[in-house]
Amino acid sequence: MSPSTPSALDLATSVRSGERTAIDIVEESLAAIEALNPKLRAFLKVDGNGARQRAEELDAARQAGETLGPLAGVPIALKDNLCTRGLETTCGSRILEGYRPPYDATVVERLRGAGAVIVGKTNLDEFAMGSSTENSAFGPTSNPWDASRVPGGSSGGSAAAVAAGLVPVALGSDTGGSIRQPASLCGVVGLKPSYGRISRFGLVAFGSSLDQIGPLTSTVAEAAALFSVLAGPDPRDGTCDERPAPDSLAALEKRDVSRLRIGVPRAAFGAGVEASVTAACRASLDALSARGARLIDLDLDWSDLAIPTYYLVATSEASSNLARYDGVRYGSRAAGHEDLIGMITASRGAGFGPEVKRRILLGTYALSAGYYDAYYRKATQARALMGRQFAAAFEQVDVIATPTSPTPAFPIGEKSEDPLQMYLCDVFSVPANLVGLPGLSVPCGASADGLPIGLQLMARRFDETTLLQAGACLEDARPEPLGLPPIHRLAKGGAR
């Protein structure tokens, strides 16, 4: 597989028609993983035997005259916080090392039902807490465009796998930008649906009011197709909306850039945004304007609210969700301790990494007696205020555009000793999670160093149709595609 090979949609069509076999497509993907993953470290676990068995089953079903699903034979990678029956699911953490769930997440069931072939689990910041995939207990993932740089996070393994062509599509999770930011840094498309659009059953929780599952792909059409497969009600998730899944791919045929109203917050292109990011995003917006879209300046500035609000809400929910990993009910148990408190302390101390511990401590403090009103309650009030600000903005526009990330990919280790600088990477992405909006990152250019840059679009809650239509218009208007990343110079054997 590679970005120059057919899209996931073309691959599925070729399998359904008999032009190609699922097993041949899967073998190509596995060969690419074998050649490039040692350098990239995008995958934590590759299930070659399981993928081959599933591909052979699909080929046999087609030969028997059965109708195959919309993702027939398409290799897909899953972020390693999605429960997959019998396949190790670690969340990038030592505390879950060796854990094999006895069930599939709802999204995994839906992928299997659509004919997709799961080839493995991808690397991530531990428990999805990070913006660089450096916090994984199993080592960092590298960016396919420059192996000395981060791929973004926390879904960095999934983004890198798609960018490098190891798989045509992958799933990630997004709590504060964890799909969109790595999509931007790796030059792929990343969709965070509205909160409640896709079932979270089987997603290991980080922030339960913020988490959402979504696809990373090479094109907006692929993202639309996966969204239609994954979305829809699920009785096992009480926060999942009852709206049926829309036919988002068909809706792309009706896109009309001349009717598009794009809100551009003036504050989104101010201090802290690298000049190359501003230039690429502005050029893409100008290209949309030249095709008939209407650009509308917005006096919408969440810069003072977004990061502190998010990092109070998210850490508070993380503190609550991760309390279960105590070595008794969940998680690896430290040996050699006769008393319960000593065992729990040792288990959590050895099992969790520094960033997870930092967020648990921050969240526990914010929820503690005497501080709850001053911190967590204030954060929920600020969150409600942001919701009202966005609602007012959407009375004027169809989508809101900002950079996805204030910078292109940065060197591995550059921000790891400065948590605040790392947290600021999320300044444009966290509002969509706090308010529950759908967000989409689409590649819009590159820096002078050839590093990808993404433009983020946000739409009204549950209006993924307009969001994806706008993303397709942006894709139509953008400059030439970025091409193959330099990681392919290292390819050997079967990889292309």
DSSP 21-32: -HHHHHHHHHHH
Contact between 419 and 408 (Cβ < 8 Å): no
Structure tokens given for 433? 């999670």
Catalytic residue among 2, 14, 45, 79: 79
First to last CA, the chain: 7
Identify whether 178 is a catalytic site residue: yes
Instruction: Give the other-Cβ count within 10 Å of 199's Cβ.
Output: 24
Does 154 qualify as catalytic in the annotation? yes
Buried/exposed code over 37-67 (b: 16+ C-beta within 10 A; e: otherwise) = beebbbbbbbbeebbbebbeebbeebeeeee
Catalytic pick among 2, 131, 154, 184:
154
Catalytic member of 131, 178, 248, 332:
178
Name the residue among 27, 195, 202 with its Cα closest to residue 107.
202
**Which residue's entry shows tokens 């999670």?**
433
Residues with Cβ within 8 Å of 289's Cβ and at least 6 positions away in sequence, in order, are: 295
Rounded CA gap, 179 and 216, in Å?
Answer: 7
SS3 301: coil
Catalytic status, residue 142: no
- Cα(455)–Cα(458) distance, integer angstroms: 10
Cβ 108 vs Cβ 117: under 8 Å? no
> Are 194 and 438 contacting, i.e. CB atoms less than 8 angstroms apart?
yes
Residues annotated catalytic, as ranges: 79, 154, 178
